[in-house]
Amino acid sequence: MLLIDFEYNLQYGLNIIQYRDRDAFDDNWYYLYIDIETLHLLLINFGILSTYRIPTQVFSLDTPLISTKINVTFSGAPLQLYCGSNAHFYLPIIEQNY
């Protein structure tokens, strides 16, 4: 399973995302330049859920910030992306401090 992290403010052209294989033996994050169309296809086909996290704050699963919808801005305009996969997901995975 991949954990994908990207900025809230996406721009026209290529954006940097970081991703990590949750089941891999290493804790390395990898970086990729991706455009909004490819990111949308990735989320609609394989995305399970999204969450808005602030790395320095304690994260709880009891929050309205966990959803199948991702609210971002694209070149200043509000945009909503959807996670389309209905696969099973173990929620405490996102409680870990990545």
Residue 83 belongs to domain spanning? 2-95
pLDDT of the residue at 31: 93
pLDDT of the residue at 33: 94
**Stated length of the chain:** 98
Per-residue pLDDT tens digits of the chain, which is 98 residues long:
778 888 888 888 899 988 888 777 777 889 999 998 998 898 888 888 787 766 676 666 666 667 788 888 888 899 888 888 877 777 777 766 65
Question: Structurally, how many domains does the chain consist of?
Answer: 1
Beta carbons within 8 Å of 18's beta carbon, 6+ residues apart: 4, 5, 6, 29, 30, 31, 32
Whether the CB-CB separation of 48 and 9 falls below 8 Å is answered with: no
What b/e readout covers 38-60, taking b as 16+ CB neighbours within 10 angstroms?
ebbebbeeebeebeeeeeeeebe
